[in-house]
Amino acid sequence: MSGLSGTKRTTLRRSREQARTDPASLYDVLRAGYVCHLGVLVDDAPMVVPTVYGFDDEHIYVHGSVASRSLTRPDAVVCVTVTVVDGLVLARSLFEHTVNYRSAMIYGVPRVLQNPGEKLAALRILTEHVTPGQWDYARRPNKRELAATTLLAVSLAEASVKVRSGPPDDADSPDAALGLWAGELPLRYAFDTPVPDPALPAGIEVPPHVAGRHHPA
């Protein structure tokens, strides 16, 4: 992808300084998240459902069972939003309080994948994004399971990215004279020690690709 589009709905009207227009920024956000929020139209009202996703250069693939009931109109546009919250920004004034985050918003008409080979390829991308290593470790879907899996592909062509980072914006304001503490409270995400299924027989070790995701502090 050579550049993010600038259609009316993906051209940011507010906070222009936070907009990113390069595909690398989009991929960075998509790489950092696990769950997206998929917005679809149901009976003329928006419905926002959380679901896992994966992506390649051109598409985001979302697990779409929950949303499938909305896909009765073949031309219906959906909005896929991925948000990673990096911290809370505490300013001198409440008005300047904000959040450090990275967010991507993707608009497109989803394609419901039908071809088994194509579905398997998308499921592999999704699996390896959320749980890297599991595609080769766990049992892959059989025909029945694959048929029961709804996968949507949405083009990344119409997307916008917003990023906010760093300290609050009121260091140069009269509020600096208040002598209040200001700064960022970073939010950290980490995988904890894997919890084995209680039904697991003794002697089955946590495989390295799972154990390796836990980073002791």
Of residues 21 and 150, the one with the C-beta less far from its own copies: 150
Q: How far is the CB of 72 from its own copies (least distance, A)?
A: 15
Of residues 24 and 199, the one with the C-beta less far from its own copies: 199
User: Nearest CA to 141 among 107, 173, 106, 113?
Assistant: 113
Q: How far is the CB of 52 from its own copies (least distance, A)?
A: 6
Of residues 22 and 194, the one with the C-beta less far from its own copies: 194
Q: How far is the CB of 60 from its own copies (least distance, A)?
A: 13
* Tokens describing residue 32: 């950092």
Q: How far is the CB of 113 from its own copies (least distance, A)?
A: 16
Q: How far apart are CA 36 and CA 53, in angstroms?
A: 7
Residue 161: other Cβ atoms inside 10 A? 26
Of residues 2 and 43, the one with the C-beta less far from its own copies: 43
User: Nearest CA to 120 among 146, 145, 150, 87?
Assistant: 146
Of residues 26 and 80, the one with the C-beta less far from its own copies: 80
Q: How far is the CB of 213 from its own copies (least distance, A)?
A: 6
User: Nearest CA to 116 among 133, 141, 84?
Assistant: 141
Of residues 25 and 103, the one with the C-beta less far from its own copies: 103
Q: How far is the CB of 21 from its own copies (least distance, A)?
A: 18
Which DSSP state fits 28?
A: H
Those residues with Cβ within 8 angstroms of residue 15's Cβ, 6 or more apart along the chain or in another chain:
162, 164
Residue 8: other Cβ atoms inside 10 A? 6
* Tokens describing residue 7: 């259609």
Cβ density class 85-121: b for 16+ within 10 Å, e for less = ebbebbbbeeebebebbbbbbbbbebeebeeeeebbe
